[in-house]
Amino acid sequence: MSLVLDEPIMATPPRWRMFLLRLLRNRSALVGGTILLLLVLSALFAPLLAPYDPFKVNPIQRLRPPSWDHFMGTDEVGRDLFSRLIFGTRYFLLICVVTASISASIGTLLGLLAGAGSRFVENLIMRVIDVMLAFPYILMVLVVVAILGPSLWTGMVSIGIAGIPGYARLVRSAVLTVRREDYVLSARALGASESEILFGTILPNVVSPLIVYLAFSMPLAALVTSSLSFIGLGTQPPAPEWGAMLVNSRTYLFSAWWAVAGPGMALFISIFGLNILGNGLRDVLDPRSGR
């Protein structure tokens, strides 16, 4: 899935109130935002919302179908699936935030340096980025996991690293366009230092495309992280991470479909929510890209 936006947005970002109003009027953003809000709330209040302890094993109640006692049934050791799904939102959001922070911070910095630095710096950075892009995304992730060993954190770090090139390319191309603008030239004429221009003048003007890119790369990162857990190279059971929950329940696919459907649907709905939120954000921040 290529996420490269070729046209940075030049207009000054709308003031946050206007922005919020327009976002609320956008149907995709509203639905996506609601899903995200529900995720955040259930992550914050997980202990209050979950009827059972997500780690409590209860062999007598194993693989029970959905019922009044257990909305979503129980898994192969009798843990309440609904409670585990609720606690799973914490993992989902943690993954989104950590992977995005790694890719966005390092990628933006590299992109700024490549776009505004000397010829030598630019060439050096872009060649490294080219090599990283020559690897399919999953392979890049596997290289890092192979080095660091499988766990939740190495999974997140590897996906964070694999996301760097996309941000670097996006920011660089945005900087190349912005630096020729009059306000950058005038800042330079007024005697601003290079780093002041870079972080004070150029960076604020590449924020819009960055936000849109962020909104689209987050669900992708969450999807890959859960896939990684699913093949045993990410979060390890018994953590109630949705991808990891599917590892064991797939063995019981034939007798207990709910143990697969629950975590799978939770993942699907959350990622879908982030994706349409991204669509809404793009429509609001970059009206020209609309249909």
Query: Given the rule CB under 8 A, which residues bind another protein?
Result: 1-2, 127-128, 130-131, 134-139, 142-143, 145-147, 150, 219, 223, 226-227, 230-233, 243, 246, 250, 253-254, 257, 260, 264, 267-268, 271-272, 275-276, 279
Least Å from the CB of residue 4 to another protein: 10
Between 109 and 133, CB nearer to another protein: 133
Between 208 and 249, CB nearer to another protein: 249
Q: For the chain, how many residues are written? A: 291
Least Å from the CB of residue 280 to another protein: 12
Least Å from the CB of residue 163 to another protein: 14
For residue 211, CA distances in Å to 9, 76, 205 come to: 11, 41, 11
Using CA atoms, how far apart are residues 208 and 16, in angstroms rounded to an integer? 12
Least Å from the CB of residue 268 to another protein: 6
Cβ contact 241:91 at 8 Å: yes
Least Å from the CB of residue 147 to another protein: 5
Q: Which element (helix H / strand E) includes 220?
A: helix 207-230
Using CA atoms, how far apart are residues 164 and 170, in angstroms rounded to an integer? 10
Between 199 and 257, CB nearer to another protein: 257
Cβ contact 80:51 at 8 Å: yes
Q: Burial code of 197-236, b = ≥16 C-beta within 10 A, e = fewer?
A: bbeebbbebbebbbbbbbbbbbbbbbbbbbbbbbeebbbe
Between 85 and 198, CB nearer to another protein: 85
Between 57 and 253, CB nearer to another protein: 253
